[in-house]
């Protein structure tokens, strides 16, 4: 399976959870961010990751990560109600309007840099990584 197809398949898992929960009348939200590499000190970030949350009184927002449960069947119960530490959230919701508003269509999600040239979306190449910084008084 191609990487792009796999990313959309995993995206679809979270979107399906989000839509089904909302269709049942339960408040839900769609979230997107970056998965962080297993090495806690540095590494490249390979792409985006998404998940859903639903709201239940008196517990609050409960995360569901169907794609991680699918990739790690031994942790499926864990990913229904918890997140691992290896993620960084960027966006909540879909059909996003920026401030100031973009001239183009609402964004399906906002995770990568977005630019417009003459009022039209302009592709911006990006690569992401992270590295721990030791607090040395800076």
pLDDT at 54 exceeding the cut of 90: yes
The model's confidence at residue 24, banded by pLDDT at 50, 70 and 90, is very high
Q: How far apart are CA 96 and CA 99, in angstroms?
A: 10
**pLDDT by residue (tens digit) across 63-103?**
999 888 888 899 999 999 998 888 888 888 888 899 999 99
pLDDT of residue 53: 93
Q: How far apart are CA 92 and CA 111, in angstroms?
A: 10
Longest Cα separation, the chain: 52
Handedness of CA 61, 67, 70, 73 (dihedral sign): negative
pLDDT of residue 9: 52
pLDDT of residue 11: 62
**CB 32: neighbour CB atoms within 10 A?**
21
Give the predicted TM-score (pTM) of the model.
0.73
Q: Which of 4-13, 17-26, 106-115 has the lowest mean pLDDT?
A: 4-13
pLDDT of residue 107: 87
For residue 8, count CB atoms less than 10 angstroms from its CB and return exposed for 0-12, middle for 13-18, buried for 19 or more. Answer: exposed
Q: How far apart are CA 23 and CA 34, in angstroms?
A: 27
């Amino acid at each position: 399976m191609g990487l792009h197809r796999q990313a959309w398949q995993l995206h679809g898992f979270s979107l399906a959870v989000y839509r089904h929960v909302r269709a049942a009348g339960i408040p839900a939200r769609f979230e997107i961010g970056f998965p962080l590499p297993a090495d806690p000190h540095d590494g490249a970030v390979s792409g985006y990751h998404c998940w859903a949350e639903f709201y239940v009184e008196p517990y609050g927002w409960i995360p569901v990560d169907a794609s991680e449960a699918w990739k790690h069947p031994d942790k499926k119960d864990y990913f229904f109600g918890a997140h691992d530490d290896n993620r960084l959230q960027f966006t909540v919701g879909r059909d996003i309007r920026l401030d100031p508003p973009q001239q183009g269509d609402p964004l399906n999600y906002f995770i990568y840099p977005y630019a417009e040239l003459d009022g039209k979306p302009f592709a911006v190449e990006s690569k992401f990584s992270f590295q721990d910084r030791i607090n040395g008084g800076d």
